[in-house]
Amino acid sequence: MMSETVRTHSAAEFPVRDVSEIVQELTEVFGPSLLSFIMEVDSRSLQRWAGGHGIRYDSEKRVRDLDTVVTFLRQKEEPATIRAWFMGMNPQLDDASPAETIRDGSARDVMAAARAYFNAA
């Protein structure tokens, strides 16, 4: 019988970024108004989160999902283009905007639309 070696990874190999850092970066890309819309919170909440305070699990998940899509798009696009893409109607999302779709909790659909956008470009 062959034995299979399972490689384990340390946390240092896959560092988890602090949510406050992610919120700060997303604010730079989207601005506080659009980010507040996507996250369904006011700008004071974003400021608290950027300072490392008061984020709930569901909000943190949305922040991390949004960051995943933005990181993917940054491979080829500048922040201004990413912002415009999130605001525009998207045929992959039944003409909803990616911002609305993330807000509604469908990050997977937005990621699929981002991949389709890259494949079409």
Condensed to tens digits (0 to 9), the pLDDT of residues 88-116 reads 999 999 999 999 999 999 999 999 999 99
Within a domain: residue 12?
no
With respect to residue 5, please indicate whether it lies within any of the assigned structural domains: no
Supply the range of the domain harboring residue 106: 19-120
> DSSP string spanning 51-82?
TT----HHHHHHHHHHHHHHHHHTTT--HHHH
Is 13 a member of any domain?
no
Residue 5: per-residue pLDDT:
53
Looking at the structure of the chain, the number of domains it has is: 1
**Residue 32 domain-assigned?**
yes
pLDDT digits (tens, 9 = 90+) for 55-80: 999 999 999 999 999 999 999 999 99
pLDDT tens string 6-48: 555 445 555 678 999 999 999 999 999 999 999 999 999 999 9
Residue 12's SS3 state is coil
Is 8 contained in some domain? no
Is residue 6 one of the residues assigned to a domain?
Answer: no
**108 located within any domain:** yes
Calculate Rg over the CA atoms of the chain.
16
Residue 73 domain-assigned? yes
- How far lies 73's CA from each of 70, 82, 98, in Å? 5, 7, 12
